[in-house]
């Protein structure tokens, strides 16, 4: 068996639309899938997504209901669906490909194609046919080097300075924060800025960058229920994706609490309290445990911008987006 199975084990089905797809026979991730692929001369398509992901809903309702896509999948593929929240091994391996991530393997578990995000029906059908015609791994498949760990204490001074220069150069002074397409609170970077400034002073503007980013992140706060949306697209902070993930709540809560401890600004304390209120009111189950996420969409696949522009009562009249257990 290929090296893939050294890190990947059994997966689970992902019913993120709440209804079964009647024409694609979705399977769980397992070694048996590849045994069947070898016996039947098939490829394996992995649809790796998230229950809270808007574009995962759209891809299911549009792409995976397209007759040509269905025909090609049924002819030469085994279709596998996995919830990345339930499988950190798969999530960590393919997180750079966004959700949904589409990975196609040969029968031995070797990657042929890795694709990021929503794929419309026509490009999906073209990709599936191209793989059938020529199963040679495409340019998206790059051999991965084994990661190595190093302590920052072992960094030479010039290496440490080079890393800091890269961090400074990557800051976006116009739209604020880091990142050119997706904007969100990179909690590790902001904490690093606060830490460096506390130890060495703020001659390079560490505090300024951290505080500007914390201020920009408030655009991703839900003004009605509290809590933070996952991220904004379009390179600014004005186009949020409305799913709310437990990890994002916890890390934002931590960073705003640290900011209050460092600078004493009561606004940071209020920010932390808004996140805590959301976690208590919406992400805590009747049994007293946290849900892992709340969906972006009230109706799967229908964009929720209008819904989140409403007040509390108007939202509740339409329903509350689904929350997912651990």
pLDDT tens string 213-236: 999 999 999 999 999 999 999 999
The pLDDT confidence band at residue 154, using thresholds 50, 70 and 90, is low
Q: For 49-75, write each residue's pLDDT tens digit.
A: 887 788 888 899 899 999 999 999 999
- Which CATH number is associated with domain 3-133? 3.40.30.10
**Per-residue confidence (pLDDT) for residue 16, from 0 to 100:** 44
**Per-residue confidence (pLDDT) for residue 14, from 0 to 100:** 43
Fold assignment, 152-324: Glycosyltransferase (1.50.10)
The pLDDT confidence band at residue 144, using thresholds 50, 70 and 90, is low
pLDDT at 302 over 60: yes
Name the more confident of 144 and 31.
31
* Average pLDDT of the chain to the nearest whole number: 85
**Per-residue confidence (pLDDT) for residue 88, from 0 to 100:** 79
The pLDDT confidence band at residue 13, using thresholds 50, 70 and 90, is very low
The pLDDT confidence band at residue 142, using thresholds 50, 70 and 90, is low
Please state the pTM of the whole predicted model: 0.65
**Per-residue confidence (pLDDT) for residue 148, from 0 to 100:** 47
The pLDDT confidence band at residue 137, using thresholds 50, 70 and 90, is confident
SS3 of the chain? CCHHHHCCCCCCCCCCCCCCCCCCCCECCCHHHHHHHHHHCCEEEEEEECCCCHHHHHHHHCHHHCHHHHHHHHHHEEEEEEEHHHCHHHHHHHHHHCCCEEEEECCCCCEEEEEECCCCHHHHHHHHHHHHHCCCCCCCCCCCCCCCCCCHHHCCHHHHHHHHHHHHHHECCCCCCECCCCECCCHHHHHHHHHHHHHHCCCCCHHHHHHHHHHHHHHHECCCCCCECCEECCCCCCCEECCEEHHHHHHHHHHHHHHHHHHCCHHHHHHHHHHHHHHHHCCECCCCCECCEECCCCCCCCCCHHHHCCCHHHHHHHCCCCEECC
pLDDT at 252 over 90: yes
Q: CATH topology of 3-133 equal to that of 152-324? A: no
pLDDT at 314 over 60: yes
**Quick one: what percent of the chain has pLDDT higher than 90?**
58
Name the residue ranges covered by the structural domains of the chain.
Answer: 3-133, 152-324
Are 113 and 138 in contact, with CB atoms under 8 Å apart? yes
């Amino acid at each position: 068996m290929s090296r893939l199975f050294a890190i990947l084990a059994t997966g689970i089905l992902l019913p993120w639309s709440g209804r079964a797809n009647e024409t694609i026979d979705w399977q769980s991730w397992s070694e048996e899938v590849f045994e069947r692929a070898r016996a039947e001369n098939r490829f394996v398509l992995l649809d790796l997504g998230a229950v809270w992901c808007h574009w995962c809903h759209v891809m299911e309702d549009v792409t995976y209901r397209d007759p040509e896509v269905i025909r090609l999948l049924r002819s030469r593929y085994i279709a596998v669906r996995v919830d990345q929240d339930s499988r950190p091994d798969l999530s960590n391996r393919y997180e750079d490909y966004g959700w949904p991530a589409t990975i196609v393997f040969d029968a031995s578990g070797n990657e042929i194609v890795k694709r990021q995000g929503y794929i419309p029906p026509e490009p999906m059908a073209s990709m599936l046919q191209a793989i059938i015609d020529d199963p040679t791994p495409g340019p998206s498949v790059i051999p991965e080097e084994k990661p190595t760990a190093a302590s920052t204490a072992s960094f030479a001074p010039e290496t440490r300075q080079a890393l800091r220069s890269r961090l400074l150069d990557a800051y976006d002074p116009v739209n604020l924060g880091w990142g050119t397409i997706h904007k969100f609170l990179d909690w590790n970077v902001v904490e690093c800025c606060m830490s460096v400034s506390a130890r060495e002073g703020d001659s390079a503007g560490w505090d300024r960058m951290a505080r500007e980013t914390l201020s920009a992140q408030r655009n991703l706060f839900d003004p009605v229920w509290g809590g933070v949306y996952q991220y904004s697209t379009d390179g600014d902070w004005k186009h949020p994706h409305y799913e709310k993930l437990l990890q994002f709540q916890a890390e934002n809560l931590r960073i705003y609490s640290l900011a209050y401890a460092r600078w004493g600004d009561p606004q940071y304390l209020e920010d932390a309290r808004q996140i805590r209120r959301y976690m208590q009111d919406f992400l805590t189950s009747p049994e007293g445990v946290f849900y892992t996420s709340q969906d972006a969409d009230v109706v799967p696949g229908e964009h929720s911008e209008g819904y989140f522009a409403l007040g509390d009562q108007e939202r509740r009249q339409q329903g509350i987006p689904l929350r997912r257990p651990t």
